[in-house]
Amino acid sequence: MVIAILATYACSNDEARSPVINSNDFTQKITLGNAHLDKSPLVTQHLFPLADLVENVQQSVVSISVDIVSRGRFFDFTDEGSGTGIIISNDGYIVTNYHVIQNTSDIEVSISDGRNYSAEIVGLDVLTDLAVIKIEADNLSTIKFGESRALRPGDWVFTIGNALGLRGGPSVTFGIISGVGRTVQTERGDLYDMIQTDAAINQGNSGGPLVNDEGEVIGINTAVYSGAQGIGFSVSSSVAQPVINSLIKEGKVTRPLIGLRGMNTTSTISKRYDLGVAEGIFVTQISPNGPADNGKLKVGDVITAINGTPTPTMSKFLPLLWGYDVGDVVTVTYISEKSPLVTEIILDVRP
């Protein structure tokens, strides 16, 4: 399923809005017959003190307003957009989405007590749709990041964000984890290890937190389907945290390069090429004289593990690879012409 890019910041100009996902795949309606939801223990029981958690978390959630410059043939036009951010340090570092502040000439941040600040861009990362900005302030309230790897479908979560740029404070929505480890295809590239939730993520919520029942951020809201209700996506905290740290320290993210292109091994691909393996990364291209080439990998091989960690899909392979440093030596387990092999590869720097 291909997803055109999605962005959930609000903007007064329809053409200036980053397009949301369009899908015709979700057409079936589900009707609950005689469900008696009012008597359901899942509805009547207070599963966690939501209002108390919201009160604590919203102190670390900010509204972001931006001036968006659109290039015309003869003139440049400035429009207004809005998004959400999360305070991650008491001295003013804030994480949000890349698409919230791209092409902007001015960023204004409003914190929970009503004070407004101008913000400067610290660093951007297109591959994860994340950005860090900074305001000159101190003694700010921050929020703890939780472990997204422990999430399971059905876990309760809530979101807070500057939905539609509405005045009067942030909007709160509530739902569950619908899926984990999703790959979301966008016009800027694939987003990996995404969290799927049915908690409403509306325009303006981009960059806001997806919060667990402990009041911890386990995702950063990024995407929605326009063609279906209850399908939104967040960048997982396990992906976001190292990116945020790199942006603060270096203003960019330096990722290792393995020097190959690949795709998920499907049953169709496995049968067509007689691979003898059901899953893994099917190598489709090798960069000449690159790390994979030097490690003797070739087109048609199937990578099954890195340093003993299985790589059944690209959504597992790339985040795992990005966890290593340039210059690291990794042991790659792979299948070549139905034979299991092992090679060592020295990771290079991604340009």
Taking only the tens place, the pLDDT of each residue in 101-145 is 988 879 999 999 989 999 999 999 999 999 999 999 999 999 999
Nearest-10 Cα torsion for 122, 124, 130, 135? 20
Question: Which residues constitute the domain of residue 313?
Answer: 256-349
Residue 76 pLDDT exceeds 70: no
Among candidate residues 63, 82, 99, 315, the one labeled active-site is: 99
pLDDT for residue 305 is more than 90? yes
Distance between CA atoms of 167 and 186, rounded to whole angstroms?
A: 30
C-alpha angle with apex 350: 345 to 351, nearest 5 degrees?
140
Tell me, yes or no, whether 75 and 94 share the same domain.
yes
Whether 79 is catalytic is no
Which residue matches tokens 């063609």? Answer: 227
* Six-digit token string for 150: 């422990």
Q: Verify whether residue 206 is a known catalytic residue.
A: yes
- First-to-last alpha carbon distance for the chain, in angstroms, is 29
pLDDT at 169: 74
Residues 19 and 43 grouped into a single domain: yes
- 236 and 284 in a common domain: no
d(CA 78, CA 75): 10
Sign of CA pseudo-dihedral 162, 165, 171, 177: negative
| 230 and 292 in a common domain | no
- How many domains does one find in the chain? 2
Q: pLDDT at position 105, please?
A: 73
Distance of alpha carbon 160 from the chain centroid? 16
Closest by CA to 9, choosing from 208, 157, 219, 193, is 208
Instruction: Kindly state the average pLDDT of the residues 167-178.
Output: 87
Phi-psi region of 307 (alpha: psi -120 to 50; beta: other; left: phi over 0): left
Task: Determine the average pLDDT of the residues in 170-183.
Answer: 91
Please tell me which residue in 18, 178, 206, 236 is annotated as part of the active site.
206
pLDDT band at 15 (very low <50, low <70, confident <90, very high): very low
- Co-location of 243 and 295 in the same domain: no
Choosing from 18, 125, 129, 246, the catalytic residue is: 129
| pLDDT at position 16 over 60 | no
Q: What is the Cβ-side half-sphere exposure of residue 194, based on CA atoms within 13 angstroms? A: 22
Q: Is 325 a catalytic residue?
A: no
Count how many residues are written for the chain: 351
Last residue in a domain, options 253, 288, 322: 253
Q: Are residues 267 and 200 in the same domain?
A: no
Is the per-residue pLDDT at 302 higher than 70?
yes
- CATH, residue 230: 2.40.10.120
